[in-house]
């Protein structure tokens, strides 16, 4: 997008199409989100000052369509930022020249969180004994299942699916994550994941 080009429905559609066509973040104006907000405010003021019902309907439709496109652009860029953060945590050195400052902040925060989670998963001892209260003489001992959410490594990419816990999963090769036992067992049988010892 040209640095000095005003935002309009047409320019937003072009940004959306460019973002959909590229696997990396595309270069957009540094003030893109501020300009978008100003454009939306202008449309809303136009509705407030308009008396013609037909024109009001046109402005209302334009606002709704603009919001959909703006949301699509943000989600496309957000997904790429998350993927870049994952790649960085796995040792890649990505090019951040097309990231806006606010996007770099999100990216750095994600990398920090992923690295911290990995460190916690792999460096803390996992064989700590589970403390159970002493059994009463009148009751049978309670068996505690310490492995209801085993940690697994993904062996191959899978399509997005909703798990038994209601969460949406998109598994990528080499991801390491914890899932409920009832989900892990069928994936282990299909050799989609391997349990981390």
pLDDT (tens place) for every residue of the chain, 197 residues total: 544 468 888 999 999 999 999 999 999 999 999 999 999 998 888 888 888 999 889 989 999 999 999 999 999 999 999 999 999 998 999 999 999 999 999 999 999 999 999 888 887 655 555 555 555 555 555 443 445 677 778 888 888 777 776 777 778 888 877 777 777 788 888 888 888 75
pTM of this structure: 0.58
Q: Do 114 and 143 contact (CB within 8 A), yes or no?
A: no
What's the confidence (pLDDT) of residue 188? 85
Please report the domains of the chain, with CATH numbers, ordered by start residue: 9-122 (1.20.58.1030), 147-197 (3.40.5.50)
CA angle 149/114/164 to nearest 5° reads: 30
Rg (CA), the chain: 25
**pLDDT for 144:** 39
- Sign of the torsion angle spanned by Cα atoms 65, 68, 73, 76: negative
Nearest alpha carbon to residue 73 among 18, 24, 134: 18
- Burial class of residue 7 (count of CB atoms within 10 Å of its CB; 0-12, 13-18, 19+): buried
Distance CA 45, CA 137 (A): 75
């Amino acid at each position: 997008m040209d640095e000095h080009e005003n935002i309009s429905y047409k320019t937003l559609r072009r940004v959306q199409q460019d973002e959909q066509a590229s696997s990396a973040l595309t270069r957009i104006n540094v003030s893109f989100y501020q300009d978008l907000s100003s454009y939306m405010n202008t449309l809303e003021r136009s509705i407030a000052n308009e008396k013609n019902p037909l024109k009001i309907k046109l402005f209302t439709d334009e606002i709704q369509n603009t919001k959909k496109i703006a949301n699509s652009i943000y989600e496309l860029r957000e997904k790429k930022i998350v993927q870049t953060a994952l790649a960085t945590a796995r040792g890649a050195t990505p090019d951040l020249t097309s990231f806006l400052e606010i996007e770099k902040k999100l990216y750095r925060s994600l990398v920090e969180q992923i690295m911290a989670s990995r460190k916690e998963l792999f460096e803390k001892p996992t064989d700590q004994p589970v403390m159970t209260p002493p059994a009463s003489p009148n009751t049978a001992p309670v068996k505690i299942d310490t492995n209801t959410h085993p940690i697994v490594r993904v062996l191959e990419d899978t399509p997005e699916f909703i798990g038994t816990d209601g969460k949406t999963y998109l598994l990528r090769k080499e991801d390491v994550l914890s899932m409920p036992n009832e989900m892990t067992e069928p994936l282990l049988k299909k050799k989609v994941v391997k349990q981390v010892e």
